[in-house]
Structure 1
Amino acid sequence: MPGSRRFEGLFEGPSDLHLHSIHSDGTESAAHVMAAAHRHGVRTAALTDHDTTSGWADAAEATASLGMTFLPGMELSANHEWRSIHVLAYLIDPDDRALRAMTDRIRSSRLDRARTMADRIGRDYDLNWDDILAQTSDGATVGRPHIADALVAKGLVRDRTEAFARILSPRGDYYIALFAPDPVTAVELVVGAGGVPIIAHPAGRAGLLPNGLMRRMLDAGLAGFELGHRENLEPALTSLRRMTQERGLIVTGSSDYHGMGKPNVPGEFTTSDGMVARIIELGSGTEPVYA
């Protein structure tokens, strides 16, 4: 592809561009996440915590010591009607005023939501706010996964999967919707911050996004789709493959690693060198960190 030759030799191994740490809903520090990726053969990694960039410095330091390339990222929350949509945002300017204002608002909403859900759950179960805080780290984006971990720690459920299926289910009495921007606005914010927006796990159980919404997102600057992900399903995946080929979009593959929070393993899906190069060429908000 044009311009990609200048990146030849920089990527000496698989690239995993979707990893989470304790700065959002992962169970390991950013440094430990990078070390886990390295142990599984990953040599270019992106930290993409939900609605925060607070783990970047630790991740960059860890990858430098391990001889890896670090691609700064974030997973920006968005909502369309009843559906949660996650926009992977690579190489954004972390100090962009509009994007930071939005992520501050989302994190504040997560905190208020978690407090209210904890109060509701506490009426029926032996759970309080301190139990949930005990499952978080300083600066973490508090959310349902931390409530799930508290439920596990108290012996009220076996694991996160059971917690989300029962007590934290959107169909249950304790659930509260999270504030998040619409997907078109989310894409515009990422592009405005110099970033490269990619839709995470776009072919999951909820199916494809409506065609009209997809077109508006592409018009706003959506760069591609994360087609390599364990949650993607056929036939939606085949449809997206066709679209990416017709439009020349970026295609990524990633693990969505959360430490002990999910069974996902670093490097179980990876992104090609050529696609990593395209992301780096498009991004202007910040730079990758090369070993």
Structure 2
Amino acid sequence: MRALGPADLHAHSAISDGTETPAELVAAASGAGLATVALTDHDSTAGWAEAAHAARANDIVLIPGMELSTRRAWSSVHLLAYLFDPDDEGLRAETDRIRVDRLSRAERMVERIGHDYALTWDDVLAQTSPGSTIGRPHIADALVARGHVRDRGEAFQSILHWRAGYFQPHYAPDPLEGVRLVRAAGGVPVLAHPAVSSERVMPDGEMRELVDAGLFGLEVRHRDNSEAGKRLLLAYADRYGLEITGSSDYHGTGKPNRLGENTTSAEVVERLIGSATGSAPIIP
């Protein structure tokens, strides 16, 4: 049987907020010694075809996926969705709505920022690729290009921080609806980096609702999860029989995260594939 691990199940291309094309990302994953990589652009499957071609050319297994935006009260909750049907009407309608509101939100933020800094919508568009899901990282890149900040990190810690007064929310469904949509599309849902602080870990009652709706696993091994948060996640995984994944959340040069810095075992990848009915992995 083809080796499925080590696997990196969270990586972004320029279709969302990464800096490499889907093909370049897949080639980089192969070069990093990974057996499997998942393409998980924000709210988009536009990179799947290119990534699939690159997976065959680079002899690496590809798990087509997406990072679905959801929201719990005022907190953003990201849901990794794997091997769903990209033509499912329910999920597609929701991601279309999210992307449209992301675009409107980005335009509103740029208008606000433009009152205090030299920044235009054209500056932001210059930082995107055709078909990109435009978001705050592209605004950050535009601020860097204009010389207002040194890098994305500084942009998010200053001008793009919610305390600066320019932040605008965008539409997203609640996590429970997100899990239901992914499962209805034949996909496999995993909560992305759900413990950036122990205080933000989902409470037990809400976690149980996600499990009952079909949650497959928790992305425990992620550089942004706190140590206390990881312990809570491991307890949830043990209590509810959830799978544990590890990923880089790679963005090319857009973040310091490196491919393969955290990985998922071949056994978990095999169970993930077995849980999906929407689409199939690319196995050269």
TM-score interval w.r.t. the shorter chain?
over 0.9
Q: Does 1:280 align with 2:273?
A: yes
Deviation of residue 207 (structure 1)? Answer: 2.7
1:48 and 1:150 mapped to 2: Cα distance?
23
| Alignment check: 8 A CA contact 2:4 2:270 kept | no
2:162 and 2:85 mapped to 1: Cα distance?
33
What is the match of residue 3 of structure 1? none
Deviation of residue 13 (structure 1)? Answer: 4.3
Amino acid at match of 1:159: D
Amino acid at match of 1:169: H
Unaligned runs of 5+ in 2: none
What is the match of residue 71 of structure 1? 63
Unaligned runs of 5+ in 1: 1-8
Deviation of residue 232 (structure 1)? Answer: 1.0
Amino acid at match of 1:16: D
Equivalent residues in 2 for 1:211-250, closer than 5 Å: 211-250=204-243
What is the match of residue 258 of structure 2? 265
Count of residues in correspondence between the two structures: 283
| Alignment check: 8 A CA contact 1:200 1:225 kept | yes
| Alignment check: 8 A CA contact 1:13 1:41 kept | no
2:203 and 2:26 mapped to 1: Cα distance?
35
1:57 and 1:228 mapped to 2: Cα distance?
28
The CA RMSD over aligned residues, in Å, is 1.0
Q: Which moved more, 1:132-141 or 1:210-219?
A: 210-219
Q: What TM-score do you get using the length of structure 2 for normalisation?
A: 0.98
Structure 1 moving runs of 4+ over 6 Å: none
| Alignment check: 8 A CA contact 2:70 2:76 kept | yes
Alignment partner for residue 18 of structure 1, among 1, 10, 15? 10
Q: Does 1:132 align with 2:124?
A: yes
What is the match of residue 52 of structure 1? 44
| Alignment check: 8 A CA contact 2:84 2:277 kept | yes
Q: Does 1:94 align with 2:95?
A: no
Equivalent residues in 2 for 1:101-120, closer than 5 Å: 101-120=93-112
Amino acid at match of 1:245: D
| Alignment check: 8 A CA contact 1:255 1:269 kept | yes
1:118 and 1:217 mapped to 2: Cα distance?
35
